[in-house]
Structure 1
Amino acid sequence: MRKLLLWGCGAFLSLVAQAQDPHFSQFFSSPLTLNPAFTGKFFGTYRIAGNYRNQWPGINNAFTTATASIDFQIMQNKMQRGDTWGVGFMGFNDNSSNGAVQFNYGSFSTAYHKSLDEDGMHQIGLGFQGTYANMFINTTNLNFEDQLTTAGFTRVSSEIFNNTTLKSKYLDLNAGLLYNGSTNENNNFYFGISMYHINRPRQSFTGAEYALKPRTNIHAGAYFPLSTSATLHLSGSQSFQAQASQTIIGGAIQLNATPDQLNPTSLYIGAWMRMKDAIIPYIGIEFNNIRIGATYDYNTSSLRTASMNRGGIEVSLIYIRRPNTDRPVNCPKF
């Protein structure tokens, strides 16, 4: 029985290893998980970002994902005009099965952005990210057939790993390229490509070993004014991993309540679509250099019968500490 359970866990991990990486519907609000080349690419002295996602909240914590990051620019007084060197740190947690299976990641990233003109209106950036990953299964949270009674999983089984915790760890390498451009101080557009698991790290578990498949992400975005008090933001992302792919496109309108201020109070209303899967309404508010966003995935795929059209609740927060200067820097806005 014990060998059978070990084989079952190994098979489960094989499916996990071949599935897509954890992702956010608000990919545009999670720069360091989208592309390492976004490190340090913002107008400010430092940036703090956080995201939380609860997939299928009607099921008891089936999948929950959270990340927090900080990045900043270094040696700015030694950089050429328009150049930027960024450094960042990120923590990432992904739980499934009500915490029975947990992935924890710690990342360090750095990126250099080189100006392509004298005014810094066009830049190209190269970024790298190293990640330490730790995975474990808390066997005390697992239930098996021989524990089932008419009152639920109440019977104690001596075959359930003796309350042990099964662990695996590895190092991961990611990289990305980013082009960023502007034609004036009121618009911005970018295009990037990133690749994760370049070194194809291996997860060793219960005597078996699984190589993580590389993931490639192509993404683009832009914003431009519609009027003195309204700005349109557009973005899209296409990712590939093994036999899986995902496409998200959409946008939001930023309504400025105080358009004459450098950091206006704004309301964001829009929607994104995960093709063949979900419609994702979005609402956000921005004030005092803080932007808070919320989305809800309305499932439209063949899973909608089982999920009753319910998807994932997601919230994001970004805070950027503005520098002591009136000269804005054109950057992608998250």
Structure 2
Amino acid sequence: MISGTGSGWWSRESNKVLLLVTAGLLSFATASAQDLHFSQFFNSPLTTNPANTGFIPDADYRIGALYRNQWSTVMTVPYKTTSLYGDAQLFRDKLENGWLGLGGVILSDVAGSGSLRSTKVYGSLAYHQQLGNSSLVSAGFNVGWANKRIDQSKLKFPDQFDGKFFENPFTAVTLTNTSSSYMDVQAGMNYAYFPQENVYINAGYSIHHVNRPKETFFSDNTNDGRIPMRHIAFLNAILKVNERVIINPNAYFTTQAKSSELVFGLNGNYNLSEYGEKQLVAGLYYRLGDAIAPMVGFELNNIKFTFSYDVTMSSLNQFNGYRGASEFSIVKKGFYTQKGDRQTMCPVFY
């Protein structure tokens, strides 16, 4: 652990870490950076796939919030990511075996001591069509505004390093702009299969940054600052084991530029009441080559609270003592009218 080492170690190794972080931060400021992500991707439906908008098999609407705190044991200023979202189903009583989904999401992120701040606001629209009595296909897109800004006075660059400290106040690095704004577009499709009341399977695929927006703080013509498209695929199931237990296996894969991420795991709900008003939630997920993320939570009257913690399993654990990131999520689901007026498409506790 860094906090448990001597000052001599810290003088050498902290500079190495700072150089790595600075390089990573500058990469993030150009198009080679990767998007924001959550370990609880299943609780961030609109950022996973815009076709999830209004795709709520056990409710008519939902609102949710997530908060992620990452690298607090390594960074003086940890990475903090917040998401607020809401979506709803529309025209279910007017469209034959189909409906529209309408929603929106706000993302905010603060990264590192350079205060690289990201703000993104999206509006989402999707259409859902039921095929027979056991299948559903969905397609959707979102359009939004994104902004990134940085405080250059808080950054340190390699030419400011004198061999021991970053004490040289001058640097040859010049940011043409300290703020970058652009329009962003995502699109995706989903398919759900629910052959019986105890089985539900769902898969989806989405493409992010379809319009390849430009995002850069530099005027370097050798790199036009275009954000590479990001591809996301997911697969999940909801299976009712018995009257007390429902399990939810999930898998998520994303790739952007030359980076990729694979997360898979399982969470389950245990019914503590007659009709599912009170439920315990627990799960475990693994991000391949990086971390395991145990999760615990509680659901009360369709309001679900969950907490997960990324335990670093990669070589970075030498610096952070296995302590990666913590995540909090709250999701509220509901019906416009009494629940009995519409049958759910996935297993539930009655």
Give the TM-score range, shorter chain. Answer: 0.7 to 0.9
SS of 1:206 mapped into structure 2: coil
TM-score scaled by length of structure 2: 0.83
Structure 1 residues 224 and 143: CA distance shift in structure 2, 3 A: same
| Aligned residue in 1 for 2:4 | none
| Aligned residue in 1 for 2:5 | none
Q: CA deviation at 1:156?
A: 10
Q: Which one-letter code corresponds to 2:51 in the other structure?
A: A
Q: CA deviation at 1:74?
A: 1.9
Offset from partner CA, 1:190-246 (integer Å, 9 cap, x none):
010011011111114232331111111110100111221011110000111111111
1:312 pairs with 2:325: yes
Distance 1:14 1:299 in 2: 21
Structure 1 residues 14 and 106: CA distance shift in structure 2, 3 A: closer
Q: Which one-letter code corresponds to 2:191 in the other structure?
A: Y
The gaps in structure 1 that reach 5 residues or longer are 1-7
Asked if the contact 1:41/1:332 (under 8 Å) is kept, the reply is no
Offset from partner CA, 1:302-327 (integer Å, 9 cap, x none):
21112221111011111012232313
Percent identical among aligned pairs is: 31
Distance 1:99 1:89 in 2: 29
| Aligned residue in 2 for 1:33 | 47
| Aligned residue in 1 for 2:15 | none
The gaps in structure 2 that reach 5 residues or longer are 1-21
| Aligned residue in 2 for 1:124 | 137
1:94 pairs with 2:106: no
SS of 1:47 mapped into structure 2: strand
Distance 1:35 1:99 in 2: 30
| Aligned residue in 2 for 1:3 | none
Q: CA deviation at 1:159?
A: 7.2
Q: Which one-letter code corresponds to 2:189 in the other structure?
A: L
| Aligned residue in 1 for 2:99 | 84
| Aligned residue in 2 for 1:303 | 316
Q: Which one-letter code corresponds to 2:320 in the other structure?
A: S
| Aligned residue in 1 for 2:225 | 210
Offset from partner CA, 1:82-131 (integer Å, 9 cap, x none):
x12101111001211146111110101111011101x3x31000010112
Distance 2:263 2:347 in 1: 18
Distance 2:266 2:336 in 1: 28
Of 285, 290, 294 in structure 2, the residue corresponding to residue 277 of structure 1 is: 290
SS of 1:32 mapped into structure 2: helix
Asked if the contact 2:124/2:141 (under 8 Å) is kept, the reply is yes
Distance 1:246 1:133 in 2: 23
| Aligned residue in 2 for 1:185 | 197
Which stretch has the larger CA shift, 13-22 or 99-108?
13-22
Aligned-CA RMSD value: 2.8
Which stretch has the larger CA shift, 179-188 or 128-137?
179-188
Distance 1:193 1:147 in 2: 45
| Aligned residue in 1 for 2:210 | 198
Q: CA deviation at 1:80?
A: 1.0
Asked if the contact 1:189/1:332 (under 8 Å) is kept, the reply is no
SS of 2:39 mapped into structure 1: coil
1:241 pairs with 2:218: no
Distance 2:290 2:24 in 1: 29
Offset from partner CA, 1:14-60 (integer Å, 9 cap, x none):
66531321100000111001100000011334211111111112223
Structure 1 residues 16 and 266: CA distance shift in structure 2, 3 A: farther
Asked if the contact 2:207/2:232 (under 8 Å) is kept, the reply is yes
TM-score scaled by length of structure 1: 0.86
Of 240, 245, 252 in structure 2, the residue corresponding to residue 225 of structure 1 is: 240
Asked if the contact 2:125/2:142 (under 8 Å) is kept, the reply is yes
Distance 2:84 2:119 in 1: 12
